[in-house]
Amino acid sequence: MDNRKVAVIDSGLGGLTVVKLLRERLPSEDIIYFGDNARVPYGDKSKENIREFAKQIIEFLCKQNVKYIVIACNTMSSVALDVIKDTAQIPTADVIDPTIAYIKKTGFNKIGVIATRATIESNIYETKMKEEVKSIQVYSRACPLFVPIIEKGLLAGVMVEDAIESSLNEYKKIKPEAIVLGCTHYTAWEDSIEKYFNSEVKIINTSIPIVEYVIQDIKEKNIQNGNDVRGGTELYFSDSCEMYKKYFENLFEDANIKIEENIDIM
């Protein structure tokens, strides 16, 4: 048994969906989250900067008594996984590999992937999917409008609908069997995206496969928290998170949450 914390990282608020699921499925674990909202969006940053940002986050978290790191950011998973593992030196899970394993099980053969520019340019989803299923058709699209709007706390309305229409209209012609939300921020719009496609396209929320993987991995490594009491949740952000407050209220019903803003990790 191991009573140290499980850490979750992302460029902003997107990874909080992973925290919510982990909180529900691993109630005794202490969970710590770092969202680098001062430098969001990561998707438009250079590979070198993303790698440096990831290293700084991990160095901060390694001082917080953590036992496991969950990379809830597709952009960091696609371009900085090696840096994170080398810096952390503890068990680490990225969001992409569990998603690829899930897609393989579904048997889908025509997939859309929407993500940040950095993730799409890395070509990691298409490469890994075709390693598993050679015949699979992958249609990738960067959606740079999404994260800045979501980070403003806009989860529905005309601006959201317009961003979805302008970014995803080509998929109505392509008609994929499923679309991968290749950025955990996008899960905030999961219902709106599903509605846009009239529920005719399976929407794959990448938060779900990574949580399933982490639960199993922690069990296999025998590093579960041995306490019988409900674990705490610590949320750290590199900038103000005032605009997230309503989102927090909708996402969490747990009073045992500590929120720290304007954390300097540079």
Q: Which of 62, 73, 143, 241 is catalytic?
A: 73
Residue 73: active-site member: yes
For residue range 174-215, list pLDDT tens digits in order.
999 999 999 999 999 999 999 999 999 999 999 999 999 999
Distance CA 184, CA 201 (A): 18
Q: Which of 62, 143, 183, 241 is catalytic?
A: 183
The pTM assigned to this predicted structure is: 0.94
Q: Which domains does the chain have, with CATH numbers?
A: 5-94+208-260 (3.40.50.1860), 96-206 (3.40.50.1860)
Which has the closest alpha carbon to 213: 22, 4, 85? 22
Residue 183: active-site member: yes
For residue range 215-258, list pLDDT tens digits in order.
999 999 999 998 888 899 999 999 998 877 777 777 877 667 88
Average pLDDT over every residue of 41-59: 96
